[in-house]
Chain A
Amino acid sequence: MAISNQESGFRTQEFVLNMGPQHPSTHGVYRAILTMDGEYVVDVENVVGYLHRGMEKIAEDRTYTQFIPYTDRMDYLAGILNNWGFVMTVEKAMGIEVPERAEYIRVITGELQRIASHLVMVASMALDLNGYTPWMYAFYDREKILDLFEMICGSRLTTSFMRVGGVPNDIPEGFIPKLEKFLAELPGRADDFDNVITGNEIFVGRTKGVGVLDAEAALSFGLTGPNLRASGVNFDLRKAQPYSVYDRFDFEVPLGENGDSFDRYNLRMLEIRQSARIIRQALDTIPEGDIMAKVPKVLKVPKGETYCHIEGSKGLLGFYLVSDGGTKPYRLHLHSPSFVNLGAYPKMAKGTVLQDAIASLASIDIVLGEVDR
């Protein structure tokens, strides 16, 4: 438990430390202006925008289909989920029914992507506490998921996989056995990871009680997804308002208790296993059929506003689409969970030691591509 400096009563000269934009553990080009008193963080100021590409502006100049590749570049660790959120918004606005097989493929790839994203999170959490080896282990597993993506999407990272009305590619031959093999290996690998990191006293000591956000604060800070659930709020869009075909699967929503860094980390480990469970069920029940609905060649969204969000790997990924009836969006607002999560960071980091600040930052799992858009 970090003792703030004011409590211990020992104060020395304060100084300002620019953490970032080039720093090993800011997960990209993010900068935190830390006011330090020795090892203690007195004040934190977020500085973002180093990766700002103006996606919302770009969207206004791209057709609906053309914008899909750009969504990959938001949360580049969970491209498929971003694609999904965007095409779902357009489908909702246009009222398109997606074929069942396509929905199943979306669920399978989406959950794979969620596992991959969570693996990156736990890996970088370990790495930020100097656990190089576990980091490698998790990336090894993620690499296998990317191999699977390579088979089905043709790309590893920026998948551009979804299309309005369905998915572009059907499941290729050899994909399912490979996926089965991966799912069979995953629990053992996750246990290994747990043994190296989750049960490690040093790790637990560094994350338990660090960066605590209680449920009330988490809600006020607009946290969603795993970060919110770690604070003990049972809210998962896949359960609360099942979109796609999530209502057909049986899975649990893990919850944390204390809302500290350890809970946020551990929740991801638990969710990985739940996602694997969903994929297995989806594989067992996937129907035959089309993978694309009948959609016009040129997409025109009727005039009006649509807000749609999905349960992304880092929280609720929302799209607010204003259409003037043309082929391009009039306004597209991207509500990115990382951006919101980062807003809560100063509160978590204040009054802790520098190392705790790093652990807290790792635990909220930000992706700067998504923060800055």
Chain B
Amino acid sequence: MITLEHYLLLAAALFSIGLFGAVAKKNAVAVLMGIELMLNSVNINLVAFNRFLMPSQLVGHVFAVFVIVVAAAEVAIGLAIVISIYRDKFSTEVDNLDWLKW
């Protein structure tokens, strides 16, 4: 029997993988990908909670939809920034984006 814990565990694993990707990759686009995985795992959680805790109220679904919307916006903006930086620096490596330090 598949229970809530299974889904949560899956989501946790996916989140960790996404975090690993977001933290340990050089390319900015890859970082964005990692963040997408993290958002997806959050969505799994939302839907799973909804399914197992309050199935009659689809609040979890609604929130998942909002997360998807935000993710779409985030990717659009994120990629635009990446391209914009690429134009200036001819690089998409996150390590190079340290103008804000000091």
Main secondary structure of the interface of B (DSSP, over half): helix
Contacts of B83 in A (CB 8 A): 12
**Least CB distance, A38 to chain B, in whole angstroms:** 12
Q: From residue 47 to 102 of chain B, which have CB atoms closer than 8 A to chain A?
A: 83, 86-87
Q: By the criterion of a CB under 8 Å from any partner CB, how many residues of chain B are at the interface?
A: 3
* Cα separation A12 to B88 with both chains bound (whole Å): 11
Q: Does A53 make an interface contact (CB < 8 A)?
A: no
**Least CB distance, B71 to chain A, in whole angstroms:** 24
Contacts of A12 in B (CB 8 A): 83, 86-87
Q: By the criterion of a CB under 8 Å from any partner CB, how many residues of chain A are at the interface?
A: 2
Q: Does A303 make an interface contact (CB < 8 A)?
A: no
* Cα separation A158 to B3 with both chains bound (whole Å): 82
* Cα separation A11 to B83 with both chains bound (whole Å): 9
List the B residue with the shortest CB-CB distance to A9.
B87
Q: From residue 95 to 119 of chain A, which have CB atoms closer than 8 A to chain B?
A: none
**Least CB distance, A255 to chain B, in whole angstroms:** 45
List the B residue with the shortest CB-CB distance to A11.
B87
**Least CB distance, A241 to chain B, in whole angstroms:** 56
Please encode chain A, from 1 to 38, with 1 for each CB lying within 8 Å of some chain B CB and 0 for all others.
00000000001100000000000000000000000000
**Least CB distance, A5 to chain B, in whole angstroms:** 12
**Least CB distance, B7 to chain A, in whole angstroms:** 41
Please encode chain A, from 118 to 160, with 1 for each CB lying within 8 Å of some chain B CB and 0 for all others.
0000000000000000000000000000000000000000000
* Cα separation A206 to B87 with both chains bound (whole Å): 30
List the A residue with the shortest CB-CB distance to B86.
A12
Contacts of A11 in B (CB 8 A): 87
* Cα separation A11 to B87 with both chains bound (whole Å): 7
* Cα separation A233 to B83 with both chains bound (whole Å): 46
* Cα separation A11 to B86 with both chains bound (whole Å): 10
**Least CB distance, B29 to chain A, in whole angstroms:** 14
Please encode chain A, from 28 to 61, with 1 for each CB lying within 8 Å of some chain B CB and 0 for all others.
0000000000000000000000000000000000
**Least CB distance, B91 to chain A, in whole angstroms:** 12
Q: List 4 A-B contacts (CB under 8 A).
A: A11-B87, A12-B83, A12-B86, A12-B87
Give the A-binding residues of B (Cβ under 8 A): 83, 86-87
Listed from nearest, the 4 A-B pairs whose CB atoms lie closest are A11-B87, A12-B83, A12-B87, A12-B86
